[in-house]
C-alpha cells in the first residue's frame, strides 16, 4: 500500500474565475510541471461568502494522506470595488488555518496585470481590468489582446520567455516600502511558480 501511494503524482487543485486563468495555467503546467497532476476545480462563482463557503467544504474533504496543493486564483477588482477586502481577508485567514497548503494567488485588478508585468515594471493603481487590457493591447506588448477567448490559447507561449522578468517585477512591488493607506496594483502569480518549482525539485 505504501509503495502504491509513493508512485502517485503530486496533486494540485486549482480554483479560478474564468477561462483566461485556466488556459494560461494549463499551458504553464504542461510546459514547466509535467509531472504534476492538476485538477481544475469548478469555476469560482457567486458572492464572496458563498465562494469561500464552497472552498471550505471542498478543502475539508481533501484526503489527509496525500500531498496536495490548492491554488485559488483571484481577481481582486470586484472585492476592492465593493469594499469587501476586510471580509475577504477574514475568510481567507480562516481557510488558511484549516488547510496548510492553500495559496491565494491574487491579482489586482486581474490576471492581466500579471501579463503586463512580463513587459514593464509598474505598481500604478488600476481598479478596472478593462484598463489593463487596453494597456496590453499595444503594438509593443500583446497587440489584439482581448478577454473573449480568441487570444487565450496563445497567451502563455507569448509570455513564457519573459516569466523570470515578471517574477522579479511582482516581487519588487511587494518589497517596496509603503504607507498604510497606499493603493497599488500587484500580482501574486509568482508565488504559484515559486511553490511549484520547489515541489518538483
3-state helix, strand, coil in the chain (%, to 5): 50, 15, 35
Q: What is the pLDDT of residues 145-168, one digit of tens each?
A: 988 777 888 999 999 999 999 999
- Which three cell numbers, joined as nine digits, stand for 192? 504559484
Higher pLDDT, 34 or 106: 106
Which residues of the chain form beta strands (DSSP E)? Answer: 10-15, 36-40, 68-75, 102-108, 186-187
Q: Is the pLDDT of residue 4 over 60?
A: no
Q: Phi/psi class of residue 66: alpha, beta or left (left: φ > 0; alpha: ψ in -120 to 50)?
A: beta
Question: Per residue in 8-31, pLDDT tens?
Answer: 467 899 999 889 999 999 999 999
> Looking at residue 3, what is its pLDDT?
35
Q: Classify 26 as helix, strand or coil.
A: helix
Residue 1 confidence (pLDDT)? 32
pLDDT score of 70 more than 70: yes
Cell numbers describing residue 199? 515541489
Q: Model pTM greater than 0.75? A: yes
Range with the lowest mean pLDDT among 27-36, 62-71, 110-119, 171-180?
Answer: 62-71
Q: Where are the domains of the chain?
A: 2-199
Amino acid at each position: 500500500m505504501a509503495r502504491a501511494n509513493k508512485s502517485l503524482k503530486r496533486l494540485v487543485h486549482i480554483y479560478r474565475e474564468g477561462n483566461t486563468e485556466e488556459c494560461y495555467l494549463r499551458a504553464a503546467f504542461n510546459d514547466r510541471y509535467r509531472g504534476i497532476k492538476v485538477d481544475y476545480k469548478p469555476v469560482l462563482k457567486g458572492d464572496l461568502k458563498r465562494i469561500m463557503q464552497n472552498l471550505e467544504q471542498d478543502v475539508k474533504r481533501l484526503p489527509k494522506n496525500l500531498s496536495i496543493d490548492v491554488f485559488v486564483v483571484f481577481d481582486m477588482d470586484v472585492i476592492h470595488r465593493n469594499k469587501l477586502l476586510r471580509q475577504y481577508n477574514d475568510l481567507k485567514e480562516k481557510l488558511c488555518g484549516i488547510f496548510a497548503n492553500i495559496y491565494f494567488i491574487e491579482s489586482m485588478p486581474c490576471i492581466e496585470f500579471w501579463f503586463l508585468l512580463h513587459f514593464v515594471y509598474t505598481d500604478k493603481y488600476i481598479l478596472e481590468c478593462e484598463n489593463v487590457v487596453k494597456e496590453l493591447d499595444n503594438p509593443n506588448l500583446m497587440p489584439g489582446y482581448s478577454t473573449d477567448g480568441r487570444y487565450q490559447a496563445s497567451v502563455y507561449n507569448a509570455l513564457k520567455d519573459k516569466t523570470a522578468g515578471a517574477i522579479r517585477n511582482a516581487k519588487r512591488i511587494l518589497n517596496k516600502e509603503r504607507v498604510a493607506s497606499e493603493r497599488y496594483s500587484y500580482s501574486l502569480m509568482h508565488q504559484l511558480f515559486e511553490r511549484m518549482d520547489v515541489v518538483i525539485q
